[in-house]
Amino acid sequence: MNNDNQGKGGPPFNFGGPNGPKLPDPKKWSGWKFSLVYILILIVGMSLFNYVFMSKVNPVIDYSEFKQRIAAGEIKRVELDEAYFIGYVDKVPTKPQIKAPILFGLSAPEPAAATTVYRTVPINDSALVALMDEHGVDYYAVSREGSAILNFIFTWVLPIAFFIFIWRILMRRMGNFGGNVLSFGQNRSAIVAEGDVKTRFSDVAGADEAKDELIEVVDFLKTPKKYTDIGGRIPKGVLLVGPPGTGKTLLARAVAGEAGVAFFRMSGADFVEMFVGVGAARVRDLFKQARAKASGSKGCIVFIDELDAIGKSRLNNIGGGNDEREQTLNQLLVEMDGFDATGGLIVLAATNRPDVLDPALLRPGRFDRQVLVDKPDLKGREEILKIHSKDVKLSPAVDLAAVARSTSGFVGADLANIVNEAALLAVRGGRMTVEQQDFSEAIEKTVAGLQKKNRVIKPEERRIVAFHETGHALVAALTPNSDPVQKISIIPRGFGALGYTLQMPIEDRYLMTEDELKGKIDVLLGGRAAEEIVFGKISTGAANDLAKATDIARKMIVDYGMSERFRHVALTRRGLGMLGDSAPQEPMFQREYSDATQQYIDETIAGIVEAQYGKVKSTLLARQSLLNQVAGILLDKETIDEKEFKSLVAGDVYSGAAA
């Protein structure tokens, strides 16, 4: 709901000024609905207990048996009630008694004088009175004041109240906003008033190019006249594209914060419900409120996160159909055509899957500007670390530039997590400031997983792991242009990793040559080659290494055109699944070649891997003494850092690598 007093320091509603009528404070009565529910549950529980208890103590008998017991003289007194005829075996004064009713119209228990009681369902039988007179049975009727009211409450009021209560719960479960059955079409956007967004461009790092693109949007929202005077037109929609965690949502908030305008934030999944038409109604309501907000102030931003949830291409919908997602997308397209950007309303959206979006969304006039928010480079990572660590007590010896060099490929969310993990590790270690070692451990924890020092490994398996990891490290040190080895460890980490060799690039790489790809295969095969050299047999520990090596070899042939027969030819093309939503969500490769070509690909992959494996094995055989030495130290210390590893292999390996 549009409220002009939001964000201006005044109360959200004003009825008649300070002397006018006041609405009751909703917080004062907020607990009553829960109290009423508890009271209803208590009443029903007591009633059921009373009913079960009375049924066990005084069972109901047949009406004919009841008359037989009167004729036999066993029943001496009969209480006539509208619910039951109750017979007692003991005589008491025949004066009618007035009893207070209890739940469900059952009478209060009799005094201790009544020992045996028989109950039966009342029947309109005039012969019963004559039978009781004939055998001298005392009988009387019981007056139950208020039973009619109780019957009305339990027959009508409680069932209706229970039905309404269940209905409200179901409506909320099915996505209703506010519990009102008529409010399905209301949007669920989080509305932030002008000036309440505290994020600024200074809070965003590692995305300088994206910020430069969005500064123009901020300038238009602040001073639209200088654009309209010259005849310029700002884009209606700006689509932020990039991998998860790169700061797309943060950039959208920074735009709103810099411009000082209202900010509507909503996820694409919030539009889609189980009822057809609800998403389209929410889109209409969202833009209606946004237009009203933009016309009454200096601008408005609508931010739709995860746009691909409603913006998937309609071309993949083989069956056609008019489902909920398609109706929502159609309404969004119509709404984006129905407003003029000069009114101060701008739509921002974010997605990490632009390839699945409908082409109609990306045409000029809708999301006609795409801003790439890519992974940060070395300088960007250092700036991000400075932003996230400004409130963290760092040791003067901490080098954030070194941390940035060790985190190639990390996004902003990863770096924020590393800073937080380092702070937690410092507290766990009893330190008052965060040290460099805390950052190193946080990086290893993020890359390889949590240490499992308590896992018991058999000595023979421990030796296999040590030589396996040493093989990786030695081949990496021998391979030109390979990432340097930062640490070797046989301490188990993560899910099933018995050891690891940590390599961190010293610079960002965007291209790789054929020789460098084969070098990566060499490093991956170094572990298995070391096992076969030392133990004469191989183990399952290289399963993940083989999968990665095979994948690199396949890409060399299929994607990069690095095979002899299909040199410079890409055998596949990227495309979306042809089965719509039932297909895998990630882009898949479509095969466009024959079975003979597939056979060639399989044989060539096996040939590349086998050739590189023979090369690696020969290299390690020539340096088996060094392999034994490094593996022995690793078995004793469990961990070898970069400095110690370089000192161990400097004379032999690095001279050979340079050659």
Q: State residue 39's pLDDT score.
A: 62
Q: How confident is the model at residue 195 (pLDDT cuts 50, 70, 90)?
A: low
Segment 428-442, tens digit of pLDDT: 999 999 999 999 889
Catalytic residue (choose from 383, 469, 532, 586): 469
Segment 260-317, tens digit of pLDDT: 888 888 888 777 765 566 778 888 888 888 888 777 666 788 889 889 888 888 776 6
Q: For the residues 130-154, what does the mean pLDDT come to?
A: 74
Residues of the chain with CATH 3.30.720.210: 36-149
Q: State residue 455's pLDDT score.
A: 73
**How far apart are alpha carbons 152 and 158 in whole angstroms?**
9
**How far apart are alpha carbons 629 and 644 in whole angstroms?**
13
Q: How confident is the model at residue 184 (pLDDT cuts 50, 70, 90)?
A: very low
Q: State residue 275's pLDDT score.
A: 59
**How far apart are alpha carbons 542 and 527 in whole angstroms?**
7
8 Å CB contact between 60 and 120: yes
Q: For the residues 93-102, what does the mean pLDDT come to?
A: 44
- Point out the least confidently predicted range of 147-156, 159-168, 404-413: 147-156
Nearest to 654 by CA among 18, 56, 129, 645: 645
Q: For the residues 31-55, what does the mean pLDDT come to?
A: 57
Whether the pLDDT of residue 62 is over 50: the answer is yes
Pick the CATH number of 36-149 from 3.30.720.210, 3.40.50.2300, 3.40.50.12280, 3.30.750.200: 3.30.720.210
- Distances in whole angstroms, Cα of residue 286 to Cα of each of 266, 322, 443, 469: 9, 22, 42, 57
Question: Order of strands across the sheet with 500-503?
Answer: 500-503, 485-489, 639-641
Whether the pLDDT of residue 553 is over 70: the answer is yes
Q: State residue 70's pLDDT score.
A: 87
Task: Give the 3-state secondary structure of residue 102.
Answer: coil
| Those residues with Cβ within 8 angstroms of residue 476's Cβ, 6 or more apart along the chain or in another chain | 482, 483, 484, 485, 501, 503, 523, 526
CATH class of 459-658: mainly alpha
**How far apart are alpha carbons 98 and 607 in whole angstroms?**
102
Q: How confident is the model at residue 325 (pLDDT cuts 50, 70, 90)?
A: confident
- Topology classification of domain 378-448: Helicase, Ruva Protein; domain 3 (1.10.8)
| Lookup: tokens for 63 | 């009406």
Q: State residue 467's pLDDT score.
A: 95
Residues of the chain with CATH 1.20.58.760: 459-658
Give the residue with greater pLDDT, 656 vs 601: 601
| Greatest Cα-to-Cα distance within the chain, rounded to the nearest angstrom | 128
- Point out the least confidently predicted range of 165-169, 193-197, 326-330: 193-197
Query: What mean pLDDT is reported for the chain?
Result: 78
The fraction of the chain above a pLDDT of 90, given in percent, is 29
Q: How confident is the model at residue 193 (pLDDT cuts 50, 70, 90)?
A: low
**How far apart are alpha carbons 516 and 316 in whole angstroms?**
38
Give the residue with greater pLDDT, 37 vs 556: 556
Q: How confident is the model at residue 551 (pLDDT cuts 50, 70, 90)?
A: very high
Q: State residue 150's pLDDT score.
A: 66
Write phi, then psi, for 577 (nearest 5 degrees). Answer: -65, 150
- Point out the least confidently predicted range of 46-55, 163-172, 327-336: 46-55
Whether the pLDDT of residue 344 is over 90: the answer is no
Whether the pLDDT of residue 476 is over 60: the answer is yes
Q: For the residues 117-121, what does the mean pLDDT come to?
A: 84
Query: Strand 190-192 and strand 262-267: pairing?
Result: antiparallel
Q: How confident is the model at residue 519 (pLDDT cuts 50, 70, 90)?
A: very high
| Those residues with Cβ within 8 angstroms of residue 148's Cβ, 6 or more apart along the chain or in another chain | none
- Asked if 382 is an active-site residue, the reply is no
| Those residues with Cβ within 8 angstroms of residue 93's Cβ, 6 or more apart along the chain or in another chain | none
Segment 3-31, tens digit of pLDDT: 444 444 444 434 444 444 444 444 444 44
User: What's the pTM value of the predicted model, to 2 decimals?
Assistant: 0.64
Residue range 190-372, CATH number = 3.40.50.300
Helices marked H in 449-542 — which ranges? 459-478, 514-535
Q: How confident is the model at residue 190 (pLDDT cuts 50, 70, 90)?
A: low
Cα dihedral 516, 517, 518, 521 sign: positive
For 58-86, the DSSP string reads S-B--HHHHHHHHHTT---EEEE-SS-EE
- Point out the least confidently predicted range of 12-16, 87-91, 92-96, 601-605: 12-16
CB atoms within 10 A of CB 374: 15
Cα dihedral 98, 101, 104, 110 sign: negative
Q: State residue 48's pLDDT score.
A: 61
**How far apart are alpha carbons 69 and 615 in whole angstroms?**
106
Residues of the chain with CATH 1.10.8.60: 378-448
Q: How confident is the model at residue 620 (pLDDT cuts 50, 70, 90)?
A: very high
Nearest to 329 by CA among 314, 310, 306: 310
Give the per-residue SS3 of 545-564.
HHHHHHHHHHHHHHCCCCCC
Give the residue with greater pLDDT, 510 vs 320: 510
**How far apart are alpha carbons 569 and 276 in whole angstroms?**
46
